[in-house]
Homo-oligomer: A and B are copies of this chain.
Amino acid sequence: MSWVTDENAALFTDLYELTMLQAYYREGLDTAVATFDLFVRQMPGRNYLLACGLDTVLHYLETLHFSQEALDYLASLGRFDADFLEYLARFRFTGDVYAIPEGTPVFAGEPLLQVVAPIGQAQLIETFVLNQITFQTGIASKASRVVTAAQGRLVADFGARRMHGADAALKAVRAYYIAGIQATSLVLGGQLYGMPVTGTMAHSYVEAHPTEEDAFRAFAGLYPGTTLLVDTYDTLEGVRKVIALCKEAGDQFQIGAIRLDSGDLATLAREARRMLDEAGLAHIKIFASGSLDEYRIAELLAQGAPIDGFGVGTRMGTISDRPYLDSAYKLSEFEGEGRMKLSLKKANLPGRKQVFRFYDENGYAAYDVIACHDEQLEGGEPLLRCVMRGGQRTEAGQDTLAAARERARQGLARLPERLLMLEEAVPPYPVRISERLQALGEAVRQRLMHQET
């Protein structure tokens, strides 16, 4: 059996990170200080991204080590020398990390994370750091759109069953929490992240009883105020049975909501609402699920569907319209000198950086400027903070999930409204490059082109 844990996470790395590390070690370069930037190259048809995943990365960096089992496996590959394996046995992450805090709206080109560390260390961590930040940022950004589309109605995560593996489902819960989702059905997510857990009933429960009424009666008896799933056989027939049971059993049959999970949700919700209201059951809410995402929710609400809450699963959980971000982790400085790739369309900006956010007179974010790390841009809010120094979290690195959620809430409230629409904003949010950083980029490009020709 195989899980990724703190014990084996050091091997959650691409082989070339280790072969390069051994090369640096042999060449005596492994302790030379490098800066790597983690950024998203292009916005994936989103108006903003929500930074997410930092806490997972910091924990990984704090606990990173090679177990004896890991070293034995590496030895078995025949590519690593004994003294390098001894070096790995002592390996710890001792670098500094600068990051934009979780929950902050961010944009293409902005370093979400900047790692300043001996190059061997900064290189080794690439695979894991990209994996977690890419996924968590991607899914937090998706969830934020779903929350916005629901216009304040309850949104619950129902996604675990069709997501990409167990870690995705679990880490999504923390991303969802930050993005403003109210509850999850994944119990482990509740335990580990303090997210409220929620759930209704499955069709199988109804089917395992002689009749739908028997199932409703038994479940509501045990869980007063519960939500009953009414579409196992015939949705409106199910609603009628709920109404009959409410009339017949009175206080013995208290339910909070019904759930619709198939069919034309808008029409069924309207009809169910009418039936419940006419029966004097206006307090029973309508909860909908089944192939929902931000587009479908917006459509349902535009149709005036009287739905009070949404269970959102697979499409949000697999980020199905944009299943990945074009993220990159690139060397930007080595031994104090700016570095960059020149490859067509994949060039990056050299040097250590800071991102400044500027607000207009009404307090809305107006534009960002990516600058050199030691620039002071008056009136701009610096977004990158030192979250780890010498391998230890700073105070800024001890952010809570609640703080990140509140930061997301406030950050979104300060975005211009066109960015909160589901369609692509015109114009997109402006991200500028400071003059000094542009000049540095030009100088490094010139230097590299001369030296390489």
Contact = CB atoms under 8 A, between A and B. Distances in A.
Interface of A: 1-6, 8-9, 11-20, 22-24, 26-27, 29, 32, 34, 36, 56, 59, 63, 70, 73-74, 77, 79, 119, 123, 126-128, 130-132, 134-135, 139, 158, 160-171, 185-188, 190-193, 197-205, 207-208, 210-212, 218-219, 222-223, 226, 231-235, 237, 261-263, 314-315, 318-320, 323-325, 327, 329-331, 334, 339-346, 448-449, 451-453
Given A165-B135, A231-B343, A208 B29 contact: yes
A325 B164 CA distance: 11
Contacts of A231: 343
A168 B164 contact: yes
Question: Which of A158, A162, A165, A329 gathers most chain B CB within 10 Å?
Answer: A165
Contact of A1 (B63, B70, B203): B63
B130 A162 contact: yes
A12 B166 contact: yes
Q: Which of A169, A193, A330 has the most CB of B within 10 A?
A: A169
Contact of A14 (B56, B160, B193, B325): B160
A452 B27 contact: no
18 contacts: A2-B170, A4-B167, A12-B170, A13-B186, A15-B198, A15-B199, A16-B199, A17-B202, A18-B187, A19-B223, A20-B202, A79-B223, A130-B162, A164-B318, A208-B339, A231-B343, A315-B324, A320-B323
B331 A207 contact: yes
A119 to B, nearest CB: 6
Contact of A185 (B16, B56, B59): B16
A126 B205 CA distance: 13
A22 B201 CA distance: 12
A23 B73 contact: no
Nearest to A203: B341
A91 B296 CA distance: 40
Contacts of A342: 232-234
B186 A14 contact: yes
A14 B331 contact: no
A192 B2 contact: yes
Contact of A186 (B5, B12, B56, B187): B12
